[in-house]
Structure 1
Amino acid sequence: MSETTMIQKWGNSLALRISKTLAAEARLVEGEQVELCCNSDGILLKPRHRKRYRLRELVAGIRDTNRHSEVSFGP
């Protein structure tokens, strides 16, 4: 999918709007970080999706050297 949009001034910077449809197709949400790359073809915008961790992988990384001490939450 492609669309045409207008570059506009936003404070001292330039900004462009991404339609709801295009954002949904690219799985972008408000506040998400993206990476902008400039190359000979133009500007490429890539989402920086957060890595999803699996509990199994996290638990496998627990060692005696990186465990926290016991915390008291009261009687």
Structure 2
Amino acid sequence: MGARSHVARWGSSLAVRIPKPVAEQWGVREGSRIEMVPRGDRLVMRKEAHDLDEMLARMSPETLHGEVDTGPARGREVW
């Protein structure tokens, strides 16, 4: 799905609104991180991938949980 928007001023920066249907289809919402890559006369926007090292650095004893029992082995699992 494509949509048109326009460039507006936001403080000393410029901003482009993402129409709601496009944001929903793309899976972004307020606070989502995106990356913008200029490609000639185009601007490619993509959702920023999660950084595992950054996520692990935020881990703390409060965010850890214990093991979860998923029941007995089924099939040929080796435990």
TM over 0.5: yes
Q: Give per-residue Cα distances to partners, 1:13-32, cap 9 Å, x unaligned.
A: 00011111100100111101
Q: How does 1:1-75 map to 2 (within 5 A)?
A: 1-50=1-50
Give SS of 1:25's match.
helix
In the alignment, structure 2 segments of 5+ residues that lack a partner are 53-79
2:20 partner amino acid: K
In the alignment, structure 1 segments of 5+ residues that lack a partner are 53-75
TM-score (normalizing by structure 1): 0.62
TM-score (normalizing by structure 2): 0.59
Aligned residues: 52
CA RMSD of aligned residues (A): 1.7
After TM superposition, give the deviation of residue 50 of structure 1 in Å. Answer: 3.1
Task: Spell out structure 1 runs of 4+ moving beyond 6 A.
Answer: none
